[in-house]
Amino acid sequence: MINVLKRLFPVVPIISFLYLMTIATASFAQDLDDVTISGKVTDSNQLPIAGAAVTAVLLTTGVERTVTTNDEGFYRIIELQPGIYHVRSAATNFGAQQRSEFETLAGQNVRLDFTLAPAGITAEQTVMIDADDAPLR
């Protein structure tokens, strides 16, 4: 039994190495099919919006991924499956913007920029009349 183990011992590292290379190759091949969606979120003055949420939803599975823009307004969603997506960007005090049924292909790097407009602004007007200024009837 000991003689058999001595004979197999030099082969074990080689088999282990080949096994690890097979796994690494399979992982790398899978990465080549992944899709990346990236871009910049700005306001109507082309100023970056930091902290905006960008969400990509794969329509066939409903899988959703959300990232947040950095201080310069850039975002990047990596390792997405190819398919048809809804991509939506939203930020506090801004109206959301969505790209519907956006199709991606295997290995594609897509650039999607968003320009968000300020959310609906409402104004309220209050008229105040002093009792001294009011006409008497």
Buried b (16+ CB within 10 A) or exposed e, 99-111: eeebebeeeeebe
Q: Is the pLDDT of residue 129 over 60?
A: no
pLDDT at 94 over 50: yes
Q: What is the pLDDT of residues 49-77, one digit of tens each?
A: 999 999 999 999 999 999 999 999 999 99
Q: Band of the pLDDT at 32, cuts 50, 70, 90?
A: confident
- Specify the CATH superfamily of domain 34-116: Carboxypeptidase-like, regulatory domain (2.60.40.1120)
Average the pLDDT over 123-134 and give the result: 58
Query: Which position has the higher pLDDT, 22 or 81?
Result: 81
Domain boundaries, the chain: 1-33, 34-116
Q: Which residues pair with 57 in a beta bridge?
A: 64, 86
Instruction: Tell me what pLDDT residue 18 has.
Output: 57
Element at 55 (helix H, strand E):
strand 53-58
Please compute the mean of the pLDDT values over residues 26-37 and round it to a whole number: 72
Amino acid letter for position 76: R
Residue 89: count of CB within 10 angstroms of its CB: 24
With CA atoms as reference, report the closest residue to 73 among 33, 116, 127, 25. Answer: 116
